[in-house]
Structure 1
Amino acid sequence: MKALLFMETDGEKVLGGSLELISAAKALDAEGTALIVGSKTSADTAAALGIPVIFIDAAADCDTLTEILSEMVKEENPDIVLLSNTAMAKDVAPRIAGRMGLGCVSDVIGINKDNGKVIYTRPAYGGTVLEHMQVDGTAVVTVRSGSFSKPEEASKAVVTEKKMEIPAGAIKAKIIDKVKEISEAVNLEEAEVIVSGGRGMGNVENFKLVEELANVLGGVVGATRPPIEDGWISRAHQVGQSGKIVAPKLYIACGISGATQHTSGMSGSNYIVAINKDEEAPIFEIADVSIVGNVNEILPVMIEEMKKVKEEAK
């Protein structure tokens, strides 16, 4: 089985979710080849993980990537094309599938073999059910970040640099300017610790406890939709269906009831701690540790205890 892994970069390094694709390919015992566009440093990083790399020095916009990946699928003829489930991949993957007449499965959280057939598992209906899908022929698959472990270093593989001419007619959209708010630099997808606050925090002053705990733990602040709509924090911090899909090592949910619109975006976390005064809150159904009580009384205690632990560790 051959797998073509598109490894997305931020211009300097490979995104964490893309690195996990190496483990996904290994889980299938597939012969993997990574494709990296526009970042030679990232190509070397991927090769150090033991996977052969094809590097193409080109722009990394959607139209260019669609053209490059389509050509690489023709050349490599893989059984599966893997992409991390990023905003870019959500745009590129269906384009490639449509252009090449391939199957497409998005937001996959599990890949298994059954009697020689590859079965893709993905959440549906806001994460309330899991569906198992099979694709006849080559499949273009986007994989949710956190679904597979990051690979360890291995014997360095070869990096092959290819030249590819992109027809002028292939570029339909041209970026003429970029405006990026400071808040957009929040990297929830790559965070190992996320402390999120919901409506149960009560007000913007109380929400600062969430930010303080995240700071003490060296984590990132997340939020549900209500705090964002009330202006307590920017939309860049939103976790859930209409926000970011995350899978940190530790997720602390503060004053969050656990609506499926939110939990579908964080249920892949390795360890979940939930704090809510309602013992029947749905969030407790997926939590590893459930704390029933007033979040605004519990968080100050947690913050002080975490500070003590950090001091003792010095």
Structure 2
Amino acid sequence: MTVSTASIRAVGVTTYGAPDALQVVEVPKQELGPTEVRVRVTAATINPTDTYTRNCSRSKTGTPRGAADVPGMDIAGTLIEIGEDADTSLSVGDRVMGIVVPRDDHGAYREDIVLPARSVTAAPRNADDIAASTLPMNGLTARRALDLLALNPGQVLAVTGAAGSTGGYVIQLAKHVGLIVVADASEADEELVRSLGADQIVRRGEGVADRILELYPDGVDGLFDGSVQESAVLPAVKTGGGVATVRGYRGDGKRDLRVHAVSVVDMVEEQKKLDELRQLAEDGVVTLRVADSYAPEDAWRAHERLEAGGTRGRLVIDFTR
């Protein structure tokens, strides 16, 4: 099969930098492999990790390769082509969502994308594409964290960054399997975090470990450190307890803790787990939270808003605009 010479619209960077480095670009349309599917993307979620593609943190050369570097890790849209050996029960025309591993121009901020068939599943029936696009990356990160912690019903899980999208999914998935959840929140976010199902709430910020220990003097059984407090929050976990961290942190080695560095890349072809999240969204177990959507040419404004902090719910690029 020959690679198509056609180009498609994307949002990316030709020069790394601040949010205004993002622009609408043309990138080559990708070839469809036998085990892959093609999706016409209508919505691509903006996540904090996307800023690392934009600002050069992920580049080994300092220069984008090919037409541009395209960020983005999750999409929703319409399935328009299926490879002859693709492992899927989906059909052309189905509404779908999928998880993306960005590499060069292959990130999610593009109106046409080719993905492994097992990275794509049906979108929740009760959610539009904007909302559906917010589930794959954050939802699978939360699922991976809880799988690694392997806590039993009735055990106690602490969650930092509880008002964030991943933290919120961790709370809801943890409650679904019978865990007790103590979560951090600012005063402004307390009502939101309580609505997500947290059993107890402590004030977020410096000293959060001490506030958790006031509730559980022996420490909690597990911790999801969504706000990247790392060594500052480890004392809240009992000796022998489990910790799920993001951004590669593996603990300080001072106590006997089971520290798991969560990587969603390990989940990119876990189609069954992605589809379970779809079902949980349809059942109302997990809540899809959208803060706002932007036209592709305004994606830089979304990055600017994201980096300003305080956004609750996800910002999304709407390729139908």
The structure whose RCO (Cα within 8 Å, separation 6+) is larger is 2
**Greater Rg over alpha carbons, structure:** 1
Q: TM-score, normalised by structure 1?
A: 0.26
Q: TM-score, normalised by structure 2?
A: 0.26
